[in-house]
């Protein structure tokens, strides 16, 4: 078996049916594959519809709602393919989407391989990878570099779990998704595991799908909890990945209030780094990143744990900046 497609399901039967139709219509002839659909206790007729499916489809059912990570893990445990493709059930597959991803995931250096996802409503790029902002949170990259357009590959720190491929051997090595995350963050966590182990995450820029981007209500607190768990685990690594946006933030403040700016050396370092004249972020830049993250942890303590609210961010940022600069080597 070459490929196992794993599709976690929770309601949205009409989207699931269209997803499966377009998937099967766009796969190469002769591909040895299976399609594993894992129902996470849907209540809209999904289970009854799954009973009508035949090979290469396989149906699994959770007796209670387990969430995205556990549902994907269950599907992967049953998979027989050498390569695993994880697919949201709200994707519409375009002709030619499969081969660019398959080519990249077979390479020796490949960790997780994603693709370009268009917003199904607007037709604009919603995802071409993920980057980390000054608060340590992942955001969607919505641009493809000219070099990536030429090569068909865009290296990225992380990518969304809505559509990605990975060798099954790597999936098993990393232990699959961490089920401590609740419907968010588990994909980025897995990407960082791959990156730390020396693998290369990338987006196949010639693979394009349409995605009915989630609009689920009531996600704010859950997303904040997932973000805190992610940043707590990967604090140092995310600080490295967020320095570009931290530098932009430093330069914005220095430009707006140059007379009140507390550290012109930091502004100098940020400018030189953004211009490519510093080979790596200076201690001041790295300390500023850790300080920005500490503000987020204080905010989470207030929002999620009922702690005291943090002081105004512009003040506390420069108070905290001094502390991590003194003990940066220990972070």
> Half-sphere exposure of residue 101, counting CA atoms within 13 Å on the CB side?
31
Average pLDDT of the residues in 231-237: 95
Look up the domain containing 52 and give its range.
3-217
Handedness of CA 318, 329, 225, 67 (dihedral sign): positive
**Which of the four pLDDT bands, split at 50, 70 and 90, describes residue 220?**
confident
Residues 6+ apart with CB under 8 A from 207: 96, 97, 98, 99, 100, 101, 115, 116
State the pLDDT at residue 233: 97
Of residues 303 and 124, the one with the higher pLDDT is 124
Weakest-pLDDT range from 47-61, 67-81, 98-112, 238-252 = 238-252
**Which of the four pLDDT bands, split at 50, 70 and 90, describes residue 263?**
confident
Average pLDDT of the residues in 16-29: 97
Is position 168 within any domain?
A: yes
Average pLDDT of the residues in 85-106: 97
**Which of the four pLDDT bands, split at 50, 70 and 90, describes residue 83?**
very high
- Average pLDDT of the chain is 89
User: Rounded distance, CA 240 to CA 13, Å?
Assistant: 41
For 34, list phi and psi in degrees, rounded to 5. Answer: -135, 155
State the pLDDT at residue 288: 86
Assess whether 129 and 82 both reside in one domain. Answer: yes
Q: How many CB atoms neighbour CB 21 within 10 A? A: 12
Structure tokens at 309: 């609210």
CATH code for position 170: 3.90.550.10
Would the pLDDT of 64 be above 60? yes
Would the pLDDT of 315 be above 80? no
How far, rounded to the nearest angstrom, does the alpha carbon of residue 1 sit from its chain's CA centroid?
Answer: 27
Would the pLDDT of 198 be above 80? yes
Q: How many CB atoms neighbour CB 252 within 10 A? A: 12
Is position 184 within any domain?
A: yes
**Which of the four pLDDT bands, split at 50, 70 and 90, describes residue 10?**
very high
Of residues 221 and 271, the one with the higher pLDDT is 271
Is position 211 within any domain?
A: yes
Assess whether 147 and 20 both reside in one domain. Answer: yes
Would the pLDDT of 331 be above 70? no
Handedness of CA 308, 314, 319, 323 (dihedral sign): positive
Assess whether 267 and 192 both reside in one domain. Answer: no
Nearest CA-CA partner of 34 in 68, 83, 74, 70? 83
CB 33 within 8 A of CB 4: yes
Assess whether 150 and 254 both reside in one domain. Answer: no
Average pLDDT of the residues in 200-220: 83
Average pLDDT of the residues in 154-178: 97
Average pLDDT of the residues in 48-69: 95
User: pTM of the prediction?
Assistant: 0.90
Assess whether 32 and 135 both reside in one domain. Answer: yes
Q: Of 184, 217, 250, which residue sits at a domain end? A: 217
Q: Of 153, 184, 217, which residue sits at a domain end? A: 217
Assess whether 59 and 184 both reside in one domain. Answer: yes
CB 209 within 8 A of CB 119: no
Of residues 256 and 3, the one with the higher pLDDT is 3
Classify the phi-psi angles of 66: left when phi > 0, otherwise alpha if psi is within -120 to 50, otherwise beta. alpha
Average pLDDT of the residues in 269-283: 91
Q: Of 217, 232, 266, which residue sits at a domain end? A: 217
Assess whether 162 and 67 both reside in one domain. Answer: yes
Would the pLDDT of 313 be above 60? no
Number of domains in the chain: 2
Query: DSSP label at 99?
Result: H
Would the pLDDT of 327 be above 60? no
Average pLDDT of the residues in 230-245: 94
State the pLDDT at residue 284: 86
State the pLDDT at residue 18: 96
Assess whether 135 and 66 both reside in one domain. Answer: yes
Partnered with residue 155 across adjacent β-strands are 202
Of residues 21 and 310, the one with the higher pLDDT is 21
State the pLDDT at residue 328: 38
Is position 223 within any domain?
A: no
Task: With residue 186 as reference, give the H or E element that holds it.
Answer: helix 186-196
Query: Tokens 């697919």 — which residue?
Result: 87
**Which of the four pLDDT bands, split at 50, 70 and 90, describes residue 330?**
very low
């Amino acid at each position: 078996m070459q490929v196992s497609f794993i599709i976690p399901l929770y309601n949205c039967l009409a989207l699931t049916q269209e997803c499966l139709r377009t998937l099967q219509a766009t796969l190469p002839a002769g591909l040895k594959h299976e399609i594993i659909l894992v129902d996470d206790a849907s209540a809209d007729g999904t289970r009854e519809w799954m009973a009508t499916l035949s090979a290469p489809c396989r149906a699994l059912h959770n007796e209670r709602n387990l969430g995205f990570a556990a549902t994907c893990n269950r599907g992967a445990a049953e998979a027989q393919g050498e390569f695993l493709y994880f697919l949201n059930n709200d994707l519409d597959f375009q002709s030619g989407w499969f081969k660019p991803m398959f080519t990249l995931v077979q390479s020796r250096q490949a960790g997780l391989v994603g693709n370009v996802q268009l917003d199904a409503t607007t037709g604009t790029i919603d995802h071409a990878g993920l980057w980390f902002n000054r608060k340590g949170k992942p955001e969607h990259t919505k641009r493809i570099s000219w070099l990536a357009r030429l090569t068909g590959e865009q290296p990225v720190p992380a990518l969304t779990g809505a559509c990605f491929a990975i060798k099954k051997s790597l999936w098993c090595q990393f232990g699959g998704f961490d089920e401590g995350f609740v419907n968010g963050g588990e994909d980025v966590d897995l990407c960082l595991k791959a990156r730390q182990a020396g693998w290369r995450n990338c987006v196949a820029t010639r693979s394009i799908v349409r995605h009915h981007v989630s609009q689920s209500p009531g996600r704010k607190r859950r997303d904040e909890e997932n973000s805190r768990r992610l940043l707590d685990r990967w604090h140092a690594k995310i600080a490295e990945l967020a320095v570009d946006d931290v530098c932009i933030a430093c330069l914005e403040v220095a430009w707006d209030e140059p007379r009140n700016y507390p550290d012109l050396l930091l502004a100098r370092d940020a400018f030189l780094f953004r211009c490519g004249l510093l080979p790596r972020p200076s201690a001041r830049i790295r300390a500023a990143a850790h300080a920005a993250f500490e503000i987020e942890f204080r905010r989470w303590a207030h929002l999620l744990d009922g702690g005291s609210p943090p002081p105004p961010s512009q003040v506390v940022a420069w108070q905290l900046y001094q502390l991590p600069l003194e003990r940066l080597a220990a972070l």
